[in-house]
Structure 1
Amino acid sequence: MNQTNLSALIWSVADLLRGDYKQSDYGKVILPFTVLRRLDCVLESTKDAVLAEEKAKRQMGVNPELFLLRVSGQSFYNVSPLDMKKLLGDPDHIKANLLSYLHGFSDDVRDIFEQFDVQTQIDRLAKTNLLYQVTERFAQVDLHPNRVSNSQMGLVFEELIRKFAELSNETAGEHFTPREVIRLMVNLLFIEDDAVLAKPGVVRTLYDPTAGTGGMLSVAGEYLEEHNPEARLTMFGQELNPESYAICKADMLIKGQDVANIVFGNTFSEDGHPQRTFDYMLSNPPFGVEWKKVEKAIRQEHETLGFSGRFGPGLPRVSDGSLLFLLHLISKMRPAIDGGSRLGIVLNGSPLFTGGAGSGESEIRRYVLENDLVEAIIGLPTDMFYNTGISTYVWILSNRKPEHRRGLVQLIDASGLWQKMRKSLGSKRKELSDAHIAEITRLFGECREAYDGKKPISRLFKNSDFGYRTITVERPLRDEAGNIVLGLKGKQKGKPQPDTSRRDTENVPLAEDVETYFQREVLPHAQDAWIDHDKTKVGYEIPFNRHFYVFEPPRPLADIDADLKRCTDRILTMIEGLSA
């Protein structure tokens, strides 16, 4: 059964809820019951053995927990004699028995259902006489791992969340990232380390500060398992949305990960992994979301800890926290001397160029470029995400660049690599095929300039190519007679005074001498101008699209005239026909 059919089957529970529940509340029932049925199926084959082991250890006066984990073969267990099918044998006590069954799970699972606030939904379903029917419907769905893989199960959860988000006018894209985008990012993250990752018994850590339902962590784990079954990826994450966190934690639990590594809370104000660094990191933070709610905590960390904290380089405007996530990830990089780190993050276009010299955004770009952290930026097609059609970019950063990448930034224009989806999902109308992912991965791996015909698709730049100096150009203040006004005291005595109404600025590339630029570009037009060097600021921006622009000369004027004449003649002929 594919995930679409499986989702449709689970979705049919909505028919039971209609009338007693608003559409926007369907997910409050369907998501936790789907998780419950999945866990129920996973434990099915070891149920009797776990109950026997629990009884034996209790009689011996021994804490059974470690023994039960071993017998269950999972990182969780359930000591209730009930399961979802047995619950159906006693309709009159369905509520009490269901709560008893939930209480039989180990602590981590009980926390998952607390995040879903499942007690409230059980009470509500019982009052509307729907609890038995809902339990019965889910008990009929076979979610055993032999029938539904972990990867397939993840897609089921994502599709359900997307549907619920649409019904409640929420933003589905805040919860998860399209799987083909994750596969691309994972490819780019691991490609330069394939030799290391292929070693037997290798262990690496992966972190996602905006984990959502755990899609990025899962795809990365699947990649490593496919390429080296003996390798192990220890996963860490943090998530703010309670339902997404619960699903992520359940998914990690089934995968045998340590779910204590998945933390609930706001990454900015409650860093769930303080002082910890990671080998790899992935993130798709929400686009253009303000950080006003946590502004006090972030500014305090910036001002008191500086570069010893996460936000030393600078703070972006409060209306867009995207670059805060980038700084957070950079702070989690393992020192280069200890092996270093690589990370991938999805951002919109704003972090590339928003903010002039001296602004928080520019200072953050300056920090990552002057410290040679940016390996590549890949421009994706529009209409790739569920909640927005805007252009998006994958940034790949590392503090252990291979020799051939040092001092360079690779820009890849992948905006033309896409195929149309058979059915749109929200704003998502395009997708990357396996061939497109392979092509982008190849371009990145080769790290050289490449063209598709005359159009560039991969370009290499020095870090300094994105830097500039903003100089302040002053013009003298003149009195009513047109004479230059001079300063009368202090350092300004005898010097021309600037006319603030005629003040201007110029951006000079870092590679160019400021005086040479000034003499060539400014003095021919304003011979009385001068530079106020005290106001000079260094800025950085990455004008991505400009570097891939290909000039197309206009058509010859004669051809345009000929087209206009043909059009005019056709209109005149039509008018003559009407008047005839």
Structure 2
Amino acid sequence: MSIQFNHPQFIWSAADLLRGTYKQHQYGDVILPFTVLSRLDAVLAPTKPAVLAAVEGFDPDAEPPSAMLRVRAGHEYSFFNRSKHDLKTLQGDPDSLEENLRDYVNSFSSNVRDIFEKYKFEETIADLAANDLLLQILQHFAKANLHPSVVDNEKMGHIFEELIRKFAEASNETAGEHFTPREVVKLMVSILLANEEDLTTPGVIRDVYDPTAGTGGMLSVADDEIKALNPSAQVNLLGQELNASSYAICKADMVVKGQPIDNIVHGNTLTEPAFKNRTFHYGLSNPPFGVDWKQSRTVVTTEHEVAGFDGRFGPGLPRVSDGSMLFLMHLISKLREPSGTGEPGARGGGKGAIVLNGSPLFTGGAGSGESNIRKWVLDNDYLETIIGLPTDMFYNTGISTYVWILNKDKPKDRHRKVQLIDATAMFRKMRKSVGSKRKEISEDNIVEIVKLYEQFRETEHSKIFDTTDFMYRTITVERPLQLNYAFAPERIERVLALKSVEKLGEDAVGRLRDALERADQDSIQDAAGEITHSRTEFQAKFMTAATAAGLALKPALVKTIIDELGEYDENGEIVKKAGKPVPDASLRDTENVPWDEDIHAYLEREVKPFVPAAWIDESKTREGAEIPFTRHFYKYVPPRPLEEIDRDLDEVLGRIRARLEQVKA
């Protein structure tokens, strides 16, 4: 007799059978794949006779044409199983159970076998058999009727998500290894769906994509929220995941939800992107924070250099130590371009939400890869909003995090605008922390943040800027090289230590030393003084001394020696080359000039009053962009009055003195 249930308690109770033989962190490795197997078995049961009839005559070792078997299995499903067994009949032959179960699993179409391979299910079967648990586990799951008529796709999806959560708890692992906090995902999805008038159109179709799908939590929440707004909506969930275990869980979750099984792909999004010729209505991602992309470097760099802006990484490449901005560019590339059709229910450009740490906001100066990427995002008006989240929101990190909202089809009032929302204080403390997660965003907090987004007004927690407010130019300010010259002993030693001088040979170096020291003595006796500001006069003195010593030096070496005998002096003669001042590298400086200001006007106002001889080397001017989120919400708190601090100190010192007196007594 089958058991009907509305929660995963019965399924997870299989842990009672495993207890003692398996450790807690291993329960999910058994329960999750068996849950998937039970669901698939129930889903395919009505069409099994037709599939078995269709495979008659085919070589048992060769897979029949997939299209034909899919038709026999039912147009609704993109997978099949050609085995004569099912979970109930497998129990009839306990002696051959291990072999028959392995055959049953291997008889699934390749797109389903992939799930069990990633779960390493054959190893699980062998291990259960070795511990005399295989039949008991199989009987347990055969009792659960998971047919869609009993447990629909939505309910099955929630059951599987609950099992994933229990698995994370049982394994005592950082939950962040498995999923993004659900309330963060709900906030992201709520923002994406806000003001989406076409979403209520009957039968509307929406594609949701996650390039870092993990266990599928973001896709599941998006599905739930869209269906809550429009039960008749068709939601296609697609994603890619690198970690084999997370991929297996995600793909299995999508299967039990009734999604096409090929919608979840295993692989590296950066080097082997799935769905190459497809874009999506919505994109969601929580890429790994601060993880390097060394292993992907060759492929990513080649795409950047060869494909340019026709590829994903045309704007630039971030430093190898953090690849999060690569995922940002990838996500943008997968959002739909505005259609311009105006058809009911046909949304224009795609919208995306991605979780990033603080680094992508400001890391890298003008001309760096990170800065170029930010400027490209702003230039193309893709960035709509950035939401600053509270710290301690994620299971595996307590750092500050930000949600970037991307939109390829902004409303008119948001054109060339960026909204910053400070939600860092919008949270409630958890009764019990989980890993690094000590705070959570409540339903009321989500409503408040979404309201700030929808209203798009300047408030204490919402600031609105032009895209160019975050752009700037970095100018290089040069000052002329001004030197005084002297044949001082310490300067002579610097000259003699030059490699170009050492190459002259011991004899020539000795004569050069004599010449310089003689010139030093002559300078001391000179009425004009030991130090001169005239390079021409000083060089003439040096050449006289060098000639007297029988030295014939090349002009380049003479210049090097004179430079080494010089030291900075603001009253010194300006060194020139080809009639133009030579810049002093030691005095070189840079200035960031706001985007809408002329760099020369800035120089005249901000620099020249203090350094009249300064100029801009325009060949070194770089364009940059940064988003100083925290600065725009900073509130100055004046220090306490000194009188108040002194009073508190006196009170503390008084208590200390009183206690010391008590000790003495």
TM-score w.r.t. structure 2 length? Answer: 0.78
Give the match for residue 34 of structure 1. 35
Query: Which residue, out of 443, 467, 472, partners 1:434?
Result: 443
> Shift of the alpha carbon at 1:26?
5.4
Question: In the aligned structure 2, how far is the partner of 1:262 from the partner of 1:54?
Answer: 25
Query: Which residue, out of 114, 122, 126, partners 1:123?
Result: 126
CA contact (8 A) 1:13 1:137 kept: no
Query: Which residue, out of 476, 483, 486, partners 1:479?
Result: 483
Closer, same or farther: CA 496–391 of 1 in aligned 2, 3 Å: same
- Could you tell me which amino acid in structure 2 is paired with residue 220 of structure 1? A
- Could you tell me which amino acid in structure 1 is paired with residue 119 of structure 2? F
Closer, same or farther: CA 130–221 of 1 in aligned 2, 3 Å: same
In the TM superposition, what are the counterparts of 1:289-328 in structure 2 within 5 Å? 289-328=291-330
Does residue 152 (structure 1) correspond to residue 158 (structure 2)? The answer is: yes
Closer, same or farther: CA 164–244 of 1 in aligned 2, 3 Å: farther
Question: In the aligned structure 2, how far is the partner of 1:386 from the partner of 1:6?
Answer: 28
Does residue 372 (structure 1) correspond to residue 365 (structure 2)? The answer is: no
Closer, same or farther: CA 235–535 of 1 in aligned 2, 3 Å: same
- Which of 341-350 and 135-144 deviates more? 135-144
CA contact (8 A) 1:75 1:256 kept: no
Question: In the aligned structure 2, how far is the partner of 1:360 from the partner of 1:249?
Answer: 34
Query: Which residue, out of 252, 265, 282, partners 2:254?
Result: 252
- Could you tell me which amino acid in structure 1 is paired with residue 287 of structure 2? P
CA contact (8 A) 1:236 1:262 kept: yes
Give the match for residue 385 of structure 1. 394
> Shift of the alpha carbon at 1:16?
4.3
> Shift of the alpha carbon at 1:522?
2.7
Question: In the aligned structure 2, how far is the partner of 1:79 from the partner of 1:361?
Answer: 52
Closer, same or farther: CA 2–319 of 1 in aligned 2, 3 Å: farther
Give the match for residue 453 of structure 1. none
Find the residue that maps to 1:388 and give its secondary structure.
coil
Question: In the aligned structure 1, how far is the partner of 2:330 from the partner of 2:9?
Answer: 39
> Shift of the alpha carbon at 1:485?
3.9
- Could you tell me which amino acid in structure 2 is paired with residue 53 of structure 1? A
In the TM superposition, what are the counterparts of 1:458-469 in structure 2 within 5 Å? 458-469=462-473
Give the match for residue 502 of structure 2. none
- Which of 280-289 and 468-477 deviates more? 468-477
- Could you tell me which amino acid in structure 1 is paired with residue 106 of structure 2? H
- Could you tell me which amino acid in structure 2 is paired with residue 400 of structure 1? D
> Shift of the alpha carbon at 1:324?
0.3
Question: In the aligned structure 1, how far is the partner of 2:636 from the partner of 2:146?
Answer: 56
Q: Output one character per residue of 1:451-506: Cα deviation in whole Å (capped at 9) or x when no partner.
A: xxxxx211101111111111112222222343234233xxxx22221121221212
CA contact (8 A) 1:7 1:159 kept: no
Q: Output one character per residue of 1:20-61: Cα deviation in whole Å (capped at 9) or x when no partner.
A: xx7766554343233223434x43xx73x3344345656899
In the TM superposition, what are the counterparts of 1:499-518 in structure 2 within 5 Å? 499-518=584-603
Question: In the aligned structure 2, how far is the partner of 1:280 from the partner of 1:181?
Answer: 16
In the TM superposition, what are the counterparts of 1:91-490 in structure 2 within 5 Å? 91-136=94-139, 138-139=141-142, 146=150, 149-160=155-166, 162-163=168-169, 166=172, 172-193=175-196, 195-338=197-340, 339-450=348-459, 456-480=460-484, 481=533, 482=569, 483-488=572-577
Closer, same or farther: CA 154–536 of 1 in aligned 2, 3 Å: farther
> Shift of the alpha carbon at 1:74?
4.9
CA contact (8 A) 2:212 2:241 kept: yes
> Shift of the alpha carbon at 1:134?
4.0
Give the match for residue 73 of structure 2. 68
- Could you tell me which amino acid in structure 2 is paired with residue 375 of structure 1? E
Query: Which residue, out of 585, 608, 622, partners 1:523?
Result: 608
Give the match for residue 514 of structure 2. none
Closer, same or farther: CA 443–175 of 1 in aligned 2, 3 Å: same
Stretches of structure 2 that go unaligned for 5 or more consecutive residues are 59-64, 341-347, 485-532, 534-568
Question: In the aligned structure 2, how far is the partner of 1:300 from the partner of 1:219?
Answer: 36
Find the residue that maps to 2:425 and give its secondary structure.
coil
> Shift of the alpha carbon at 1:289?
1.0
> Shift of the alpha carbon at 1:90?
3.4
Question: In the aligned structure 2, how far is the partner of 1:400 from the partner of 1:214?
Answer: 26
Find the residue that maps to 1:184 and give its secondary structure.
helix
> Shift of the alpha carbon at 1:512?
3.1
- Could you tell me which amino acid in structure 2 is paired with residue 471 of structure 1? I
CA contact (8 A) 1:344 1:397 kept: yes
- Which of 334-343 and 204-213 deviates more? 334-343
- Could you tell me which amino acid in structure 1 is paired with residue 280 of structure 2? F
Question: In the aligned structure 2, how far is the partner of 1:154 from the partner of 1:484?
Answer: 80
CA contact (8 A) 1:508 1:514 kept: yes
CA contact (8 A) 1:17 1:26 kept: no
The number of residue pairs the alignment matches comes to 558
CA contact (8 A) 2:205 2:234 kept: yes
Find the residue that maps to 1:479 and give its secondary structure.
strand
- Could you tell me which amino acid in structure 2 is paired with residue 34 of structure 1? T
> Shift of the alpha carbon at 1:89?
4.2
- Could you tell me which amino acid in structure 1 is paired with residue 405 of structure 2? I
> Shift of the alpha carbon at 1:212?
1.3
Question: In the aligned structure 2, how far is the partner of 1:366 from the partner of 1:360?
Answer: 10
Question: In the aligned structure 2, how far is the partner of 1:478 from the partner of 1:58?
Answer: 91
CA contact (8 A) 1:387 1:426 kept: yes
- Which of 323-332 and 522-531 deviates more? 522-531
> Shift of the alpha carbon at 1:175?
3.6
Closer, same or farther: CA 319–448 of 1 in aligned 2, 3 Å: same
Bigger radius of gyration, 1 or 2? 2
CA contact (8 A) 2:290 2:324 kept: yes
Find the residue that maps to 1:201 and give its secondary structure.
coil
> Shift of the alpha carbon at 1:530?
2.4
CA contact (8 A) 1:212 1:244 kept: yes
CA contact (8 A) 1:180 1:432 kept: yes
Closer, same or farther: CA 533–33 of 1 in aligned 2, 3 Å: same
Closer, same or farther: CA 32–8 of 1 in aligned 2, 3 Å: closer
- Which of 75-84 and 560-569 deviates more? 75-84
Question: In the aligned structure 2, how far is the partner of 1:421 from the partner of 1:395?
Answer: 25
CA contact (8 A) 2:214 2:241 kept: yes
TM-score w.r.t. structure 1 length? Answer: 0.89
